[in-house]
Every structure is written in C-alpha cells, then in structure tokens.
Chain A
Amino acid sequence: MTELLPRPLPNINEMNRDFWCGGADGRLHIHRCGACKRWHHPYVAACPACLSRDVKAEPVSGLGKVKAVTINHQPWFPAVPVPYAVILVELDEQEDIRLPANLVNAPVEAAQPGLKVKVCFQQYGDIFIPVFEPA
C-alpha cells in the first residue's frame, strides 16, 4: 500500500464522530431522519424538514457522482504535490448531500463532472477520511 500524504485532520466531537470515524466499518455514515427519511449533513439534532428528533447516522451506499471540480495548483502544503483535484460529490441517496473530497486511484484529468464515484477511506489513526474513486 502506498504511503498516505499528510492531511489536516478534524477534531472529533459528538457532532462529527459518525462522519469522520464511521468509516472504520468500510462504510460512509450520514445522518438521517427516521420519520421522513431525509438525509442531513452535517449533524442536526432535529430534522429541519419535519422536526422529528429521531435523527441518527446510517450507512449510505457510498455511491455518487462528481458535481463540480476544481484543480488546485497553489502549493498550500509543501508535502502535497500539485496539481490535485478537489471534487464535490453528490451522493446517490439525495442530491443536496454534497461532500468536498479528493479523487483517488485516478489521474487528475479523470476528475470531470458527471463521473460516477464510490467512497473509499484513508485511515489516520481513529479517523477514516472518506475519499472517492471512479465507480
């Protein structure tokens, strides 16, 4: 396995643990309303659509499509070679659940809107950063 590049890592708390640490089981976890079944990201303690308090993280398929792409050329982090693609992924479950991410296991040029992708994880200790590869 290739060595991972360093990433700024989130501070884990009760509002983001499911998202950032949930990948330990190989699946992406997003909050969902048990009453109306809408997905919400990030954390909410009540469903803004129906006000149900029954909102908790559930695994999603991990499938989505690239909605937008920006190719970053600025060397913000000296350890990270440029250019690299920052993509915005729309999850298949619901179009307004959009996650910024990186495209992995593909060349920068492969990052194009419409590309179907699936989640995979890069592990940094207890944190599993969701990234996406071509589906």
Chain B
Amino acid sequence: MTRYFEKNVAVSGVGQSKLYRKPTVYPFDLCVDACMAAIEDAGLTPADIDGVACWPAAPPHVGHGTSSASTTDIKNSLGLKLNWYASGSGPAQYASIINAIGAIAAGYCDHVLCYRAEGERWVPTYGRAYVDGSMPTAEGFQQWTLPYWAPSAANWIGLHADCHMRKTGISREQMGMIPINQRRNAGLNEAAVYREPITLDDYMNARMVSSPFCLYDCDVPIDGSAAVVISRLDVARERTRKPIRFEAVGSALHDHESWFCRTDWPNMALNDAAKMMWSRTDLTAKDVSTAHLYDGFTWLTILWLEALGLTKPGETGGFLEGGQRIALEGELPLNTNGGQLSEGRLHAFSHLVEAVRQLRGEAGPRQVKKDVKVSVCGAGGGVFGSSLLLVND
C-alpha cells in the first residue's frame, strides 16, 4: 500500500453553473446547479454521495456573499445521506478537496461532493462596501491593513509584487501576457464572462487599482459556482465515467502564518504547499502538460509558476515575453479556460474543472492539441495555498 493515499483517490465528476457579472440568479441556486452537474458528470446520483465539503465555511440559510452555500443547505437540498462532512478553514480553496481525500482514505466515505460557491455580486463586498462613507471596524488580520486604507488583497499582494518584480526584473509588459493570453482562451469558452480580446496597449492603458496592478490584473467577481466529486479510485473506476487520479497534493504551511512577516517574504504559503506536493511524487515540473494556477491577481500566477518550478525566479519574465509559451499551442498552456481574470472568480475550482476536462480531452475548442497526461492546479495566495497534481492513467 502506498504511503501517499491521495494516489488512491480521483476526481470523478466536474460541474459548473452559469456565471453572472450582475445579480441575476440567486447564488445558492447556482451552487445547486453546479453540484447536480458534477454528480451527473460522474455518472452518479445524489444517493451515491456520502460526503460533502466546502471552503470557506458558509453560514446556514444564507445563499449569497463570499461563501454562498453552506453544507447544511446543500445536504438538505440534495437529500444527501452523509457519513462525513466538513467546512471551515484550511489550506486555501482546495482545503475541502484535501480534507475529502483524507476522509476517503480513512474509509469514512466513497464519494465526496466539494464545491466553491461565489455570491459576491448579490451583495456589495469590500470593493463597494464603503462607498456610503461608512468605516468598518478592523478585525482579525485585517486590523493590520484596514487602518491604512488597504482593504483589498490588491493592496497586500501589490506590496509582494512590487518587491518581487523589482528583485527579479519582471516588467508589467511581461506580466500583462497572463491576462492577454487568458482573454484569448476565454474567447473559446462560452462560460466566460469576458471574451473580447485585449491587447498590450489595452493593458498598459488600463486604469490602475493598486500598483503594479491595473484593472486587468485583478480577477472578476461573479455570482456562480463550481463543484467536483472526489471518489475512491477503485470504486470510481467501476462506477464512474472517466475518473482522473490525484498523483500528489500540497497543503503545507511551514513558515510564519502571516501576510507580511514570513522569513522568506515575499514568498507565500503556496511556496510551502508546492514543495510538499513535489515531495509526494516521482514526477517533476518537466512532466506537466497544462498548468491551472490561481490568478486572483496576475502576479500570484507568476509566484505559482516559480514555486512549482515551472519557471525559475529571474527567468519568468522572459518565459512570459510574447505570450507564446503559455498559449494553448505553447510548451506550457496556462489557465486554458480564461481563468479568474476572464472566465470569472471561481477561486481555483474552475481551474480544477478545466484541468480535468483537459486531461479527459473534453475541453472542446480550447482542448490542448498535445497529449495531456499531467496537469497541475494551484489555489490561493498569502497565508494559504494548496496544490493538486492530476494524472490521466
């Protein structure tokens, strides 16, 4: 028996709701759409699902906001008979999946429904929360940033990016290849909210949000949801349509848990997670066919590339230059669905959905032409990060 039990677990189904820039359909209903789609995609029914998990925790009976579907409401809407359920904190957006793998490996359950539900357009969140002139109380870790009028991760990550880009010499023109490439990919993705191509001029002339980030460096809040079914591999191979196996996961947090006081700042928790992931497999960065890396802000994708060893610090700018290497036809197709920057902010869950589609050969007009054998997904930035290595075997 292998020591790394994620190898005995697979993604058996993926699903996504429609995504909306303007409040249109109640966000909780969109999560139910995504969950039903994922279960159906696996070839299962809700009666087969015996576990459920989400991140972050959502309050019961509130179906909007930054986490718009509680496990309570999903369980009750789908009539799930659960042997295991969990929601809460943990290593970034894939915490639910990494917990589910553990629960399956421990034998608590066979098929876990994991989802991310976004309902940030239904109610104003921080971007628009204070336009009435109100001043929030600075609670928790935000007490270190809010008093300095830095309410957004654009400000916090802007500080990281400023330091890293000066140190490694990456230019804004090079960073701009990420949103430009992703918009091109989104043109081939009917689910994406922004599909019109953008040029380098558009990027360089866009209004600044918090330097070095302009509008196109920031992901696009939406109402919407993505879901996956995580299954025991042997059961999945018998019962489900096309399971994609986990080769390794990363969930580590070794340095100080802090946005600004890590000893290796501006590195982030994701650097620890990436290192852990590679320690659990014989595969290496050279084996990766497609990369699906968190892009809440473009620079996070750059840090993920470097943390995973897909590029070397100091060489990432050159790698991005011109954009060909990260295009669908390139050596490392990146965020092939358009990512959070163009498809919409599904917090790395759409990255996982897309990785599974690429590995299955089901990505339609944006299917990468080469043989996709290994895909890597990264979620999160700052104080949390998690990564998944998926294989088609």
Contact = CB atoms under 8 A, between A and B. Distances in A.
A96 B262 contact: yes
Chain A interface extent, by class: 35 or more
8 contacts: A20-B143, A71-B211, A73-B207, A77-B130, A96-B265, A97-B261, A100-B155, A131-B148
Contact of A86 (B130, B137, B150): B150
A7 B143 contact: no
A11 B139 contact: yes
Given A10-B147, A41-B261, A86-B148, A100 B130 contact: no
B1 interface: no
Contact of B127 (A8, A76, A80): A76
Given A67-B163, A68-B160, A74 B154 contact: yes
B253 interface: no
Given A77-B135, A98-B265, 14 more contacts: A8-B138, A16-B143, A68-B162, A69-B211, A70-B159, A72-B158, A72-B211, A74-B209, A76-B130, A76-B149, A77-B133, A86-B155, A98-B261, A101-B148
Nearest to A78: B133
Nearest to A74: B209
A106 interface: no
A49 to B, nearest CB: 11
Given A70-B210, A74-B154, A100 B149 contact: no
A79 B134 CA distance: 9
A102 B161 CA distance: 18
Nearest to B208: A73
Given A9-B138, A74-B209, A100-B145, A68 B130 contact: no
A42 B208 CA distance: 31
B263 interface: yes
B260 to A, nearest CB: 4
Nearest to B143: A10
Contacts of B139: 10-11
B146 interface: yes
A99 interface: yes
Contacts of B151: 8, 76
A119 interface: no
A88 interface: yes
Nearest to B263: A96
Interface in B88-119: none
Contact of A70 (B135, B138, B155): B155
B126 to A, nearest CB: 7
A125 interface: no
A71 to B, nearest CB: 4
B152 A100 contact: no
Contacts of B155: 70, 72, 86, 100
